[in-house]
Structure 1
Amino acid sequence: MDDTITGTLVWYYYICPRETWLMAHQIFPDQDDENMAIGRAIGENAYKREKKEIDLGLAKLDLIRHENGVLVVGEIKKTSRFLDSATHQLLFYLLQMKDMGITARGELLIPEEKKRFKVELDPEKEAEIRKVIEDIEDLVEEPLPPPAQKIKYCRQCAYSEFCWS
């Protein structure tokens, strides 16, 4: 597995390949973007009693706990709007842990909506994530980002100035 592919890149890949390329090339979005600030605040203030922000190198886990003898990795999100990309990000983290010999299950946590989604890494999902990692590696090796494409997420995107200015 390429040691430059991160869970954040996997998340962006499921939203917009152009964002993925920009992030991989150290071109970062507007850090003052309101949505990013809200997301940071939720991550810092939700689930305070649980262990938080565990750094595994390519994976920064929002929280980790034991539940009935099982290691549970939690990923905190502001909204369920990006549920598919968040699920794949968490699957990437579970794969990273599996490759380190650690068995865990995942849980997506959306405190503002009081929602929890269980995430399990099965063989089919593992194969999908490994393929996505290869696809991202190919994407970021390109000399230029993919062309901008208008999608439903563009309106609130912190990267919009890189596409539509």
Structure 2
Amino acid sequence: MDFEVTGSLMQSYNICKRQVWLMAHQIIPNQEHPYIEMGRLIDDISYDRDRKKLNFENVVIDLVRNDNGNLLVGEVKKSSKAEKSAKMQLLFYLYKLKQNGIVAKGQLFFPEERKKVDVYLTSESEAEVTNAIKDIIDIIHRDKAPSFKKIPYCKNCGYKEFCLS
């Protein structure tokens, strides 16, 4: 089976390795989970003036805007609780853009908190992204999902029925 790493897998990788495997194997989380529905709603109603959902290769960027003549790509999140994972997702997008000859700045948006975080692809963060890609590929090629490990995110996870039963 051939898998491509996506931004969602990169985000999940920084939260739960088991979720990475489940997602990559097309095991769909509970779509009526309140946090999944809330995320969709926030994505739909936030930042209306920007171009939304730019798709290329295995990347779906939430928003794109011109920032004083420079390309700014943004990722919209419900909360900054998982800021590190959101940052890795955005760094993955910046890395993929760079591979295609496009230099951009990133910005994380947390509309409910009225918070923005600038994200730049540096040589250190690029190395972190490439190492994570290799690890994600290793995880998804395993015969079974990594063992369940209870973490604080479990209580709000759409996959919890796959882990807590």
TM-score range, shorter chain: over 0.9
Shift of 1:139: 0.6
Name the structure 2 match of 1:47: 47
- Percent identity over the alignment? 45
Moved more, 51-60 or 80-89: 51-60
Give the TM-score, by structure 1 length.
Answer: 0.97
2:121 paired residue number: 121
Q: Runs ≥4 in structure 1, deviation > 4 angstroms?
A: none
Q: Over aligned residue pairs, what C-alpha RMSD do you find?
A: 1.0
Structure 1 unmatched runs, 5+: none
Per-residue deviation at 1:145?
Answer: 0.3
**Residues paired across the two proteins, number:** 164
Equivalence for 1:153: 153
For the 8 Å contact 2:3–2:137, the answer to whether it is kept is: no
Q: Which amino acid aligns with 2:56?
A: L
Find the counterpart in structure 1 of residue 58 from structure 2.
58
Match of 1:112 in 2: 112
1:69-108 alignment, distance < 5 Å: 69-108=69-108
Q: Which amino acid aligns with 1:115?
A: K
Does the CA-based 8 Å contact 1:148-1:163 persist in structure 2?
yes
TM-score, normalization by structure 2: 0.97
Confirm or deny: 8 A CA contact 1:3 1:58 kept in the other structure: no
Aligned-partner Cα distance in 1 for 2:36–2:92 = 22
Structure 2: 5+ residue stretches without partners: none
Matched, 1:139 2:139: yes
